Chains A and B, each alone.
Chain A
């Protein structure tokens, strides 16, 4: 305080005293505030960037595998009596032959010795239901192949494909076996006797597994103890826990394996045995791949194989894993770029499902939207900006256009349903109706952008045109509109990108149907890209998760391209006056 009184000048003019401690504190505080503000900005930007990068990276990482697809390459015999029984090389007949049976036969030849209905069925499940589609087209195109054996690329099923992409189990092989293993048979149920206690460790780990499971049951029972309604359930849990305890409390008693434990197998004599019961030196199990003989295998010549992920937690069972591993070991499977994803329509089979139908649907929809939106939007904005008298009516129109831009899109969908479908009776699920609804949705955006672009053209240009005797319309169409066009195009493209990504209104007008065929016209049933994503995301097959992400990647690529074009247009034609 004393400081201040001393610094007050005697004259009546107030001057700033930059040397005072207050002034210096003020300066410091100003610098601090500015620095803080800058850091807020950087932090906000960083958070946004991190979110964006994580989101996009997650989608790309998930979706990327769907752009590749695994196939098995097999020698498929094309006997004339099956493919062309009458021998007249009739295309329809050749096309009608059962190529899937031929493909299955080829697969059975590649993995010989599989017996039993269940095993054969599981072998056939490795192939997609459309596995032989390519082969059929090849043979139809080139009938000279009939009667020969061709190396064909057969599409694998979705689960087999996912397994090969790494969504299965890790496999460990233990080769340092100490005893001599003797199988009792080459197929069916076999017993393997080992001259030492090679299985002791497996037994210990199984017991430990059971102990953990029993503990979990016990905890669950204790949790439910106080609940009077759960009395019977608690009793069951306790009984099950007791059963498990009886097993794991006796360390050396033989055990059975179930689907909730890692699968243990014995690889010997060129075959593979899945263990179902085990003791220290003896294992019983089912043959998955037939053995060549019942000869003794010396220590180290046989292996204990473990599929670490329990069968119950996988989409492919032990037999399929075994078959796929055999095919892989023989270099018969290969991963190719999934062109079919871009050239086929939707399917219930994930490995056959493609995005072309949705892409074409979206394109048709956008064409309708653009054809309606651009002329109406531009004309409306020219009228409002250049011709309309400024009075309360134009004010109301302007307010309403701005309000329309904020109306939830589902409302436009309901409007489309009520007006276009119910009143005008236009076809359901058609890109025509979708485009009309999207046009309503995008129109306010385009009008607002176009008006802003027209307003940005300096009035001197219009005056110059009027000054040389151009009519108002000539002045606008010859001079103002061309200069506003980049801005209008930018607004239009952003509006179109909006329409491309919009889903909700399409649900209302029935563009959410499962449509296999690629739409050929504006009135045919179709679906759109975002709706396709929504549909796929809902399906239970795990392979569709990757398809969903892949479709999102495609949608994002289109959105980025459109927005990029808008930015490029703006940069390219931007004018400063």
Chain B
């Protein structure tokens, strides 16, 4: 029964996007942690230049799916992934694909701000340095400044670029992490509950930033806050027990969900 519904909603999602070319395409994606089947047959299309929110109760597989998109699950030895995920038509699980290059194309921002215990400058400059993006010091300075500007942090830190990144406030640290992610010029940015460790003011700033960034990037955000999903996303996907229950334009999901479980979740009856 469950799978039946899931397939229905997926076909609907795919059909509703007819016309625009999706950035990320997942087909029959399964994830196993040892014996545990954590993600079941997920198929979804994610459009470019927009924000897609993954919502759902704890342990529903939304973070697992997010980490499939930049193959961060590879670092967990017992984790096994089947199915296909395509970015711009290229299968990222193709053995010929270099995972390091993939992660440069698909940036990630984590739940807890995790700046390197280095200077603000070095935090942002690290990615461009290892990928050889900058030609010389002034070019690198330029990338750092642009990235911090895009992350809305430049004005606050431009006089103390050599201070430690860990000395910033929580919200500033998270925006530093976003600057670090965009410094390598990714196409997709994955955000795993980026505001869960932040206070409301810092959250508002990060949300504003996400809204600005969507014009340049394909952003996928996992969130527990339905208000946040409603505020920042154009499309929303609801996960439940490892199944993608429903996906569609955010307004539709929140006002007129087609699945009972989605309705129950967004009205706060479980989860």
Contact = CB atoms under 8 A, between A and B. Distances in A.
Interface string A106-144: 000000000000000000000000000000000000000
Given A389-B77, A479-B116, A575-B117, A467 B130 contact: no
A483 interface: yes
A468 B114 contact: no
A467 B70 contact: yes
Contacts of B77: 389-390
A426 interface: no
A461 interface: yes
Nearest to B183: A468
A464 interface: yes
Interface stretch (A77-85, A271-279, A300-308, A469-477): A469-477
Given A389-B77, A460-B110, A463-B72, A468 B117 contact: no
Q: What does DSSP make chain B's interface, helix, strand, loop or mixed?
A: helix
A464 B131 CA distance: 15
A478 interface: yes
A467 B107 contact: yes
A466 B103 CA distance: 7
A390 B72 CA distance: 19
Given A389-B77, A469-B101, A463 B130 contact: no
B108 interface: yes
Contacts of A390: 77
B176 to A, nearest CB: 11
B185 to A, nearest CB: 10
Nearest to B74: A466
B114 A464 contact: yes
A461 B116 contact: yes
A469 B116 contact: no
B218 interface: no
B177 interface: yes
A468 B181 CA distance: 6
A478 B103 CA distance: 17
Interface string A202-242: 00000000000000000000000000000000000000000
Contact of A463 (B102, B110, B126): B110
A465 interface: yes
Most B Cβ at <10 Å: residue of A389, A467, A471, A472: A467
Contacts of A462: 75
A461 B114 contact: yes
Interface string B239-255: 00000000000000000
Contacts of B103: 466-469
B120 interface: no
A483 B117 contact: yes
The listed residue with most B CB atoms (<10 A of its CB), out of A389, A462, A464, A478, is A464
A204 to B, nearest CB: 86
B131 A467 contact: no
Contacts of B183: 468
A469 B114 contact: no
A478 B122 CA distance: 12
A541 to B, nearest CB: 58
Contact of B108 (A458, A467, A479, A575): A467
B175 interface: no
B202 to A, nearest CB: 18
B115 interface: yes
A469 B109 CA distance: 12
B100 interface: yes
A478 B127 CA distance: 11
A216 B75 CA distance: 86
A220 to B, nearest CB: 78
A574 B260 CA distance: 52
Contacts of A467: 70, 72, 103, 107-110, 181
Contacts of B127: 468-470
B184 interface: yes
B97 to A, nearest CB: 13
Contacts of B92: none
11 contacts: A389-B77, A461-B116, A463-B108, A463-B110, A468-B103, A468-B127, A468-B183, A468-B184, A470-B130, A474-B130, A479-B116
Interface of B: 70, 72, 75, 77, 100-104, 107-110, 112, 114-117, 126-127, 130-131, 177, 180-181, 183-184
Given A465-B116, A465-B126, A468-B104, 6 more contacts: A463-B108, A466-B72, A467-B72, A469-B101, A470-B100, A474-B130
